[in-house]
Each structure stands twice: as structure tokens, then as C-alpha cells.
Amino acid sequence: MSISFKGKVAIVTGAGNGLGRSHALALAARGAKVVVNDLGGARDGSGASSKASQEVVDLIKEKGGEAISHGANVANYSEVEDMVKATMDKWGRVDILVNNAGILRDKSFSKMSLDDFKLVMDVHVMGSVNCTKAVWEIMREQNYGRIVMTTSSSGMYGNFGQSNYGAAKMALLGFMNTLVQEGAKNEIKINALAPTAGTRMTEDLMPEEIVKLFAPEAVTAGMLTLCDDDAPNRFILCAGAGGYSSANLFETDGVFIPLEEQTPENVRKNWSAITATEGQQALQTGSAQGEKYVKKAMAYMSGKK
């Protein structure tokens, strides 16, 4: 079945270059009206220019699509509100939000300033929070919404020199997990994309021939599956260079240790059972962990009677 976004309105942040640009062009090519957001700063977040985002808008219009640009700094909520207001004034709804904007301030943790750590958190985490907050009630009232968070393998697995970036990207998964539960009754679905692409953000980190292999369009093909009518929910899609995979957080079944035996020595003694992967699950809520422990305790108490 062909994936179409005809009649949908999408906001794509950080859409002046790289992945965001690819996302915006692809959404427009499949019928979406697109807000191309980009502060127009350098890779480290400095500076601002509307040139890149306007070029994307012009490309969309040249191909018969509809688009507007907006230079909101996603870390500034009042600017984000203005962007959403402009979208509503123009088209009257917001169906899709792709939280793609980001910056890099890579250094080992020992050499990283707290200002650099905070700035990356502000753009990636609070930028996504701000944009999501600004569209949340709109999506609730129209009983429809699709939100894509941009996470990273640096968050899920770690990457030297990216403690700030990794912390931010992992935080977005926690944000997603709760929004999934709160948005379910209003047909709001939230998913995460973990891209590997040769973009302006990574062009200095890989040889030129490898950068060409990791084209943004390969990632965008996956992103489109996360925000259409038949999108999954709470899904982490990893994509790059033609490779696609899913990531998940699993918890082992674990053991129960009676109160009188709860010592660090006994925890260590049960380590093989605690870490055994047989029966492990991807829990759907935080409370599910507590429910599992209660069941183990009740089973133990029943066995003693």
C-alpha cells in the first residue's frame, strides 16, 4: 500500500540541511504541507540564517507542493509557539511533528564545559519538549497526531566524546515512552528514529566515500513509516546506508529474595539468575516492573503457607 500524506500538515525541525531537509522534501513529495523549521546556525549551534530553510521551501514549491519556513530556535518556547501559530493560521491543523533539530559539542567529559553539556541538552531535549508541548493540545483536540523523536546509537549504547549528546538522545526515549501512554486515547502515536547518515553533523567524522553511502534519503525512507496513518507506536527504528533494524529495552525475569536474606552477598550469589535472559520481556510501562515483583513476592508467600 502506498504511503501518502495528502491533506496532512507536517512540521520538521532542523530542516534546512541534511536529514531534516530530506525529511521535509519527502513529506512534501507525498502530499504533505510542510513547515520547514531551521534556525540556520552552524553545527555547534552558533549563528542564524533563514537561507537554508527558504531554499527547501522553494524546492517544494517548484515541484507543486506547499511549504513555509520558520526560523524558530526550538530551545526557545515563545519562538516555537509563534511557529505553531503561523502553521495554524496558514493551514488550521498540525498532523505530524518531526523533532530533528540538533547540535554537536563533542569533547571527552573531562574536557567538556557544563555550558556545552547544557546547551546540547537544551536543543535536543527541551527543543523536542517545546515543539511537542506546542502541538500537543492541537493533536488531542483533532484526535490525531504523529510525532517522531530523533534518538541515536550514542544514547542507546554510548559513544566516546558524546556524553552530552548521548544523555540527550536517551532522554528522548524516556519522553516518548510516557507520551505514548498519555496520547493513546487521542490517536497520537510517538516513535523514535535512530539515524546513521552522512550529514553536515557527521561529515567530518567519516571519509567522503562513506558519507555518500550513508545518504540521508535512506534514513528518510524509514522515517516516513513512523508518521503515516498506519504508523506503529513506541517503536525505535534504526536506519542508515540501506540497513534497517529495531531496538528495544528488555528486562530479565529476575529472582525473588526474601526480606531476611536481602544482603549484597545474596544479590551477588543470585547474579546468574538475575541476568538470565530466558523469559525476558520488553515492559510496556514502568509500573509493570513493580507488578512483576509483587507477583514474585506473592508466589513466595503462597509457597510458605
pLDDT tens, N- to C-terminus, the chain (305 residues) = 699 999 999 999 999 999 999 999 999 999 999 999 998 755 555 545 578 899 999 999 999 999 999 999 999 999 999 999 999 999 999 999 999 999 999 999 999 999 999 999 999 999 999 999 999 999 999 999 999 999 999 999 999 999 999 999 999 999 999 999 999 999 999 999 999 865 555 566 667 777 677 788 989 999 999 999 999 999 999 999 888 999 999 999 999 999 999 999 999 999 999 999 999 999 999 999 999 999 989 998 888 65
**Nearest Cα residue to 96 out of 287, 231, 271:** 231
Alpha-carbon distance of 121 to 162, in angstroms, equals: 11
- What total number of domains does the chain contain? 2
Q: Which residues contact 183 (CB under 8 A, 6 or more apart)?
A: 136, 139, 140, 145, 189, 190
Please identify which of the residues 165, 244, 293, 300 carries the catalytic annotation: 165
User: Are residue 152 and residue 300 in the same domain, yes or no?
Assistant: no
Q: How many CB atoms lie within 10 A of CB 261?
A: 12
Q: Is residue 266 part of a domain?
A: yes
Q: Is residue 251 part of a domain?
A: no
Distant-in-sequence contacts of 171-176, Cβ < 8 A, 24+ apart: 171/121, 171/124, 171/125, 172/99, 172/124, 172/125, 172/128, 173/149, 173/236, 173/249, 175/125, 175/128, 175/129, 175/132, 175/149, 176/149, 176/234
- β-sheet bridge partners, residue 12: 36, 98
User: Are residue 99 and residue 162 in the same domain, yes or no?
Assistant: yes
User: Are residue 186 and residue 286 in the same domain, yes or no?
Assistant: no
Angle ∠(199,204,206) on CA atoms, nearest 5: 80
User: Are residue 59 and residue 182 in the same domain, yes or no?
Assistant: yes
User: Are residue 216 and residue 286 in the same domain, yes or no?
Assistant: no
Q: Is residue 78 part of a domain?
A: yes
**Nearest Cα residue to 199 out of 217, 222, 224:** 217
**How many Cα atoms are found within 13 Å in the side-chain-facing hemisphere of 209?**
0
Alpha-carbon distance of 257 to 241, in angstroms, equals: 47
User: Are residue 162 and residue 297 in the same domain, yes or no?
Assistant: no
User: Are residue 209 and residue 64 in the same domain, yes or no?
Assistant: yes
Residue ranges making up the domain that contains 277? 259-304
Q: How many CB atoms lie within 10 A of CB 133?
A: 14
244 is catalytic: no
Q: Is residue 252 part of a domain?
A: no
Which phi and psi angles does 251 have, rounded to 5°? -125, 135
The CATH number of the domain holding residue 193 is: 3.40.50.720
Domain boundary among 246, 273, 295: 246
Q: Which amino acid, 85?
A: K
Q: Is residue 1 part of a domain?
A: no
DSSP strand pairing (188-195 vs 236-240): parallel
pLDDT of residue 272: 98
User: DSSP class of residue 125?
Assistant: I
Length of the chain: 305
User: Are residue 136 and residue 187 in the same domain, yes or no?
Assistant: yes
pLDDT of residue 201: 55
Alpha-carbon distance of 126 to 121, in angstroms, equals: 7
Q: Which residues contact 286 (CB under 8 A, 6 or more apart)?
A: none
Q: Which residues contact 276 (CB under 8 A, 6 or more apart)?
A: 252, 253
Question: Coil, helix or strand for 150?
Answer: strand
